[in-house]
Chain A
């Protein structure tokens, strides 16, 4: 008699506030809808999920897995940015590779951010796969921005209620200018990607929970507030990511996959590995307009 082995996924929390390690799911398999729903729910609850030893997951299966959660985003600028090193063959893939950065803190992804918040509808989440990891170093840290919001004092919560902030892709624009992108191409991008005004306190479309939705990488100003006052407030809000109680830190190995909810988290790629080789690939699921 044949034994039918059905492995039910299991999940264990990594910290008290964010992150869970999932076991019992092979992401390269043709997963049924129940498993996809289970992952979606776990994602909202734990905000970032870690899957270890997913060695069967190649680029094509990575893309196929991501598609189960929605349309995939084609990053509009990644093909121009050398560090992304993205082949045009798989536009849904962002390649993140580092092997020559000389020092720590070069302010690329080693700054707290949520992905593509300069879009009118920023991504729902990203699925990042580790292909080559340094022997030590190159961790990623995520911050629970719902807890970051809760830990604000009441006065600040009241002050930011209803406020909106301007988000910008100016760092990409500078890079595009530096590589000699024609003026008319830039002008077309300016039309296609106008700077959005997102609420500073975002409500999660599934859980209904409030989170702090400004980040140091892409947020530039507060709508209707002078720059001195606005910058001081933004600096204060950015610092919430630094509270260890809102964080989880992942050490990558080849085959590790992290899936984060981009609506309720920020992340930081720790650049402490000098010139060691680190190679990652990301697939990004489209999201909705923040409210």
Chain B
């Protein structure tokens, strides 16, 4: 009699707050719908999922896996920027590579991805191809816990406020890469500054999260600059609380899938000139509310 082995996936928490290591799933585009649903639910609950030893996950399968969760984002600026080293043939893949001292960095600051879009991404799936022997970890912060840990006065103060998000750092990168000003001006029309609530409500869980970050958020709507800067500083500093953090050490074959709506992340730049090569697939999201 043949034995039918059905492996049920398991999720093991990595900290008391966020992050879970998932076992029992080989990532691909061919997973049954119930497994995809299981991952979606685990993603909202744990905010970032880690899958180890996914050595069979090629670029093609990575894209196919991502597409199961929604439309994939084509990052509008990545192809112009040398640190992303992205080829035109797979526009859904962002290549993140560093092999010189301080090379290809710029994500060593707390942020949520593409919050300068009207509809920032739902989540990203990042795959490690080459990792330094030590260093190059990524940290995530639970922005729902970060919100919960604010004092009541601050919570009341930020209720209903909106903030402006800008892709100014990409603009600098584009200028440096020699992209024509006329093209950058066209991009500004296509991607005008976005305005999002300072406190975001998760579309699935209904939980509140701090939704401003140190890279892209440039000001709170209708507030004097000094006051706005001080408030943004206070809110973004919540990411520094160890209780809201999880830290991942990558190995080739490690995949992380994060909920970009409820987390921020930080790529730790502590590996000098060692080689680190990652590929990211990003799933489109909805309008923050």
Assess whether A12 is interfacial by the CB under 8 Å rule. Answer: yes
Instruction: Type the 1/0 row for B232-245, where 1 means its CB is closer than 8 Å to any CB of A.
Output: 00000100111101
Selected from A110, A137, A141, the residue in CB contact (under 8 A) with B17 is A137
Closest to B249 in A: A14
Give chain B nearest CB distance to A16 CB in angstroms. Answer: 3
Question: Does A150 sit at the interface, judged by CB under 8 A?
Answer: no
Nearest opposing residue in chain B for A134, CB measure: B16
Residue A61 lies at the interface, judged by CB distance under 8 Å to chain B: no
State the interface size on chain B (CB cutoff 8 A).
Answer: 31
Residue of A at shortest CB range from B133?
A: A13
A17 at the interface (CB under 8 A from B): yes
Question: A136-B14, A272-B16 are contacts. A244–B268 as well, Cβ < 8 Å?
Answer: yes
A contacts with B: majority SS? loop
Which residue in A134, A135, A244, A274 is a CB contact (below 8 Å) of B266? A244
B134, A16: Cβ atoms under 8 Å? yes
User: B13 to A15, Cβ gap below 8 A?
Assistant: no
Set B15, B241, B243, B266: member contacting A136, Cβ < 8 A:
B15
**B interface SS class:** loop
Q: Mark A232-263, 1 if CB is under 8 A from B, else 0.
A: 00000001001011010101000000000000
Residues of B near A273 (CB, < 8 A) are 16
Q: B118 an interface residue at 8 Å Cβ cutoff?
A: no
Q: B241's contact among A16, A105, A134, A251, by CB below 8 Å, is which?
A: A105
Contact of A17 among B135, B241, B243, B274 (CB under 8 A): B135
Q: Within 8 Å CB of A17, what residues of B?
A: 135, 270
Can you list, as one digit per residue, whether each of B135-175 has a CB less than 8 Å from chain A (1) or not (0)?
11101000001000100000000000000000000000000
Q: Say whether A15 contacts B134, CB under 8 Å.
A: yes
Q: A15-B134, A251-B14 are known contacts. Are A270 and B271 too (CB-CB below 8 A)?
A: no
Chain A 125-143 per-residue mask, 1 if CB under 8 angstroms from chain B, else 0: 0000000001111110100
Q: Tell me the complex Cα distance, A247–B245, Å.
A: 12
Chain A residues lying within 8 Å of B219, measured Cβ to Cβ, are none
User: Range of interface residues on chain A?
Assistant: 20 to 34
A104 at the binding interface (Cβ < 8 Å): yes
The one of A141, A242, A245 in contact with B270, judged by C-beta atoms closer than 8 angstroms, is A245
**Within 8 Å CB of B268, what residues of A?**
15-16, 244-245
Contacts of A137 in B (CB 8 A): 13, 15-17
- B13-28 with Cβ < 8 A to chain A: 13-17
Per the 8 Å Cβ criterion, residues 103-156 of B in contact with A are 108, 132-137, 139, 145, 149
- In A11-44, which residues have CB < 8 Å from any B CB? 12-17
Give A13's nearest chain B residue, CB to CB. Answer: B134
Q: Is the CB of B16 within 8 A of A138?
A: yes
Q: When the two chains form the complex, which single residue of A13, A14, A105, A270 contacts B15, counting CB atoms closer than 8 Å?
A: A270
Residues on B with beta carbons closer than 8 Å to the beta carbon of A139: 15, 242
Q: Tell me if B271 and A136 are in contact (CB < 8 A).
A: no
- The complex places the Cα of A105 from the Cα of B243 at a distance, in Å, of 8
Contact between B240 and A242, CB atoms less than 8 A apart: yes
Q: Tell whether, in the assembled complex, residue A104 and residue B13 are in contact, meaning their CB atoms are under 8 Å apart.
A: no
Tell me if B269 is interfacial: C-beta within 8 Å of chain A: yes
Q: How far is the CA of A13 from the CA of B132 in the complex (A)?
A: 11
**Nearest CB on A from B138, distance (A):** 9
Q: How far is the CB of B238 from chain A (nearest CB, A)?
A: 11
B271: chain A residues within 8 A (beta carbon)? 16
Q: Which residues of A contact B270 (CB under 8 A)?
A: 15-17, 244-245
Q: Which 8 residue pairs of A and B lie closest in terms of their CB atoms, listed nearest first? A: A137-B16, A16-B135, A16-B270, A272-B16, A13-B134, A136-B13, A242-B240, A245-B270
A-B contact pairs, 17 of them (CB 8 A): A12-B134, A13-B133, A14-B249, A15-B135, A15-B137, A16-B270, A104-B243, A110-B243, A137-B16, A139-B15, A239-B240, A244-B268, A247-B247, A251-B14, A268-B242, A270-B15, A276-B16
Other A-B contacts than A141-B242, A244-B108, A244-B266, 11 sampled, CB-CB below 8 A, are: A12-B133, A13-B133, A14-B249, A17-B270, A104-B145, A136-B15, A239-B240, A251-B14, A270-B243, A272-B16, A274-B16
